[in-house]
Amino acid sequence: MKTKSIPLEYRHYEEFSSMETNIRFLIDKISKKEKILEIGCGCGALANHLAAQGYDIAPIELSRSAIRVGKKMFPGLRIIPMSGDNLKFKDGSFDVVLSFDVLEHIPNTSRHLEEVARVLRDGGKYIFQTPNKITNRLAAFVYNALSGQKRWGTDYHCSLHTYPRLRNALLQKGFQPRFYKMSPVNSHTLRRIQGGLGQLPAKIFKKFPFRYLPLFFQTNFYVVAVKR
């Protein structure tokens, strides 16, 4: 789904900010034969996109307002009200679990990872994206200082991780993680930067060689964690 097809009144939802990048990352890592759970699906944009392509996906979301919006945007999609750290599924129910821009909003990361491991079959994959604590804090400081607005705070992202902390957390819960480098540049992000800071910062952001940064300084962590 291209972000330009999203109605203007819904574009503030966080899931659309990385939609294009998330699909590029995900699409060659899942199969239509696999049973997929998406945690924190928001309005259901990604789940709807995958379902339309023939993937077997069950989307869950905690926010009632996001679910209501999802019903309007994607009337054929059933979003299940459920928390990401208390999954109401049997052990080994899924081949793949997805979450994008979700982990940083879950206060009890340890419990969340335990639940993901429980509902995954052996050899199943937890595929997710979450912001890097270091670069997220830096970006928030710069954006807030230049724009005069306060867009992000510690109360909004309560569980940001650094690379070593996230890797260790996954290993401790029985996952073998692999981290990927993905450029954060996409049409939605560029529009947000241009709207808040102007054309020059947007041009600099577009040209910046993000993939050459070490994992410690990637803007987001893109991870495939295999249950051992």
Q: For 66-81, what is each residue's pLDDT tens digit?
A: 999 999 999 999 999 9
On whether the CB atoms of residues 129 and 98 are closer than 8 A, the answer is: no
- Is the pLDDT confidence value at 105 over 60? yes
- Give the predicted TM-score (pTM) of the model: 0.81
The residues spanned by each domain of the chain are 3-227
On whether the CB atoms of residues 85 and 57 are closer than 8 A, the answer is: no
pLDDT band at 119 (very low <50, low <70, confident <90, very high): very high
Residues 158, 169: Cα–Cα separation, whole Å: 16
Alpha-carbon 183 to chain mean position: 14
pLDDT at 155: 56
Q: Which CATH superfamily is domain 3-227 in?
A: Vaccinia Virus protein VP39 (3.40.50.150)
Could you report the per-residue pLDDT of 23-37, keeping only the tens digit for each? 989 999 999 999 999
- Is the pLDDT confidence value at 1 over 50? no
First to last CA, the chain: 33
Higher pLDDT, 137 or 198: 198
pLDDT at 203: 82
On whether the CB atoms of residues 23 and 46 are closer than 8 A, the answer is: yes
pLDDT at 137: 61
